[in-house]
Structure 1
Amino acid sequence: MSLDRRNPAELSPPAGFSHAVVATGSRVVFLAGQTALDGHGAVVGDTLPEQFETALSNLLTALAAAGGAPRDLARVTVYATDVADYRAHTPELGRIWRRLAGRDYPAMAVLGVVRLWDDRALVELDGFAVLP
């Protein structure tokens, strides 16, 4: 399996994402949306960074259960109930990402949504990975 991250010079420099990821491999893992739910199904954390860390940890736990690692992520979509809050916390969210997932960034998008399934959830992440 290989993921070839492409960031053309003609586009603005990416920060915390890759513009394109070319994936070659034999297995694709589709990862369901993960929020800041704990093992009992309760949302934990009151701030976006706290919830982001738990949601990302949950996504990576699901990926590991499928035999993958953070470097295998080809695409991640972030759904935020308050994009301005997300933007305000971008440096902290970047540090959380690098600590948990490293610097091999997938193609990413952040979408503003009215609400998520659980009223207390501030952020949700889903994605897919390509494994050998």
Structure 2
Amino acid sequence: MAVEFMHPDGLLQQSDYAPVAVGTGSRLMLLAGQAGVTPDFKPAAPDLAGQVHAALRNIIIGVRGAGGDVGDLARLTFYIVDWVPEKWDEVLAGIARAQQAEGLPAPTPPITIIGVQALFTPDFVVEIEATAVLD
């Protein structure tokens, strides 16, 4: 694993994600935003939790395709349509599914959530970008 997660003293000590990731690998991987879609560009689920899980699965497929694995993920940026804090539980449910089914680390890499008006099509409610550090 090329990434180490940290919770430095003085930062919020939440348990859902690590606020700091330190990469020690030699290659930086930037993955384009992944929606919660199937390979034929159809929404994988009608709800936010299901699309979060599917988008994270697509990210893991991309990282593995580049020769890395889930432990190499250093950062995740979520773009969520009509974001309000009340949607956090749905996001956590999708993350938990990806942790159980896909091996996403717990806690996750650092996360940023950005609320957006819309994504590529009205059926998409989340898109996630990822940064990974590969050995």
- With normalisation by structure 2, the TM-score equals 0.87
**1:42-121 map, 5 Å:** 42-84=42-84, 85-99=86-100, 100=102, 101-103=104-106, 105-121=108-124
For residues 38-70 of structure 1, the C-alpha deviation after alignment (integer angstroms, 9 at most, x for no partner) is 111122311111111111111111111101111
Query: Does the 8 Å contact 1:16/1:94 carry over to 2?
Result: no
Distance 1:64 1:48, change over 3 A: same
* DSSP 3-state at the match of 2:71: helix
Name the SS of the counterpart of 1:86 in structure 2: helix
TM-score by length of 1: 0.89
CA RMSD of aligned residues (A): 1.7
Counterpart secondary structure, 1:89: helix
For 1:65 and 1:48, the matched residues in 2 are separated by 25
Structure 1 unpaired stretches of 5+: none
Number of residue pairs matched?
Answer: 132
8 A contact 1:5–1:21 mirrored in 2: yes
Runs of at least 4 residues of structure 1 off by over 2 A?
82-86
Percent identity over paired residues: 27
Q: Does 1:16 align with 2:19?
A: no
- Unaligned 5+ residue runs, structure 2? none
Query: For residue 34 of structure 1, what is the amino acid of its counterpart?
Result: Q
